[in-house]
Amino acid sequence: MRIPNRSLILISLTVIALRGQTPAPHAGWALVPGGENLLANGYWDTAGEGSAPVSVQVSSGVLTASALNGYLGSVNVLAPRLETKGDFGVVATVQTAAGTNGLIELTGSLNTGALYWQGMTEGEFGVDNSGDYVFGYWDGTQANPVVYQVLKGFGTPQTGTLTMELPHQQGQFLLYFNGVQYGPIADPGLFAGGYIFPEFVLFPNQQLKLSNWRSKCPKATRVRA
């Protein structure tokens, strides 16, 4: 189920320097004011595509989500969106274990056709239900991802805290998992509209524990969130 389009929440922002915030695998980037905590006031309990029972709640700075049937997550137009001018990035921390994982998804344009995927552009990265580090994107021309890469595979799911970051720089995606870089991967123009909707995606019969979800950009860039 895709959430119907509603009024977007926009807050004018000017980038401030990153002071003691984590994580930052490379220098010269700052947190976006208003994007320091994407979990706050994001109406995340409205997200859902899976059949009941579905649970999404934010408590003590941690989003915990679960669903038994179907994938959980959808474009949340009620949450603050990031209007991009130049380079940008997002960073998030998840707990990983067998049955615990999750993906961060960035939607660059909403669907424009009768089918949900027509015209919709999205990039997605995180930990799949096998515990692998993955990245993929859709360009609005087909239901399946145009690119889907396993960045690092594991024989068994890892257990612990994982910080994931996707900086978008000079038309390319870079990915960091606990500070280790993967990529670059060329961007075909997913965010040509100048904004992104951040969201999360959860595999069926899995649980997501998401914290420290933030948006970032180079200190010289001005954005909105």
- CATH superfamily entry for domain 47-218: Exo-inulinase; domain 1 (2.60.120.560)
Q: Which pLDDT score is estimated for 29?
A: 78
Structural tokens at position 128: 């799949």
Q: Which pLDDT score is estimated for 215?
A: 84
The average confidence (pLDDT) of the chain is 80
Q: Which pLDDT score is estimated for 86?
A: 76
Report the DSSP pairing between strands 172-177 and 160-169.
antiparallel
Q: pLDDT per residue over 41-59, tens digit each? A: 677 876 556 566 788 888 8
Q: Which pLDDT score is estimated for 19?
A: 29
Q: pLDDT per residue over 114-161, tens digit each? A: 998 999 999 999 999 999 999 999 999 999 999 999 999 998 899 999
Q: Which pLDDT score is estimated for 50?
A: 59
Q: Which of 91, 209, 96 is nearest to 162 (CA)?
A: 96
Report the DSSP pairing between strands 195-201 and 82-83.
antiparallel
- Give every CB contact of residue 39 below 8 A, 6+ residues apart in sequence: 58, 61, 62, 63, 210, 211, 213
- Planar angle of CA 136, 45, 143, nearest 5 degrees: 30
Regions of the chain where pLDDT drops below 50: 1-25, 222-223
Q: Which pLDDT score is estimated for 48?
A: 59
CA 63 to chain centre: 13
Q: Which pLDDT score is estimated for 184?
A: 94
Q: Which pLDDT score is estimated for 2?
A: 36
Q: Which pLDDT score is estimated for 220?
A: 52
Q: Which pLDDT score is estimated for 218?
A: 72
Residue type, 214: R
- Planar angle of CA 102, 49, 166, nearest 5 degrees: 35
Q: Which pLDDT score is estimated for 6?
A: 28
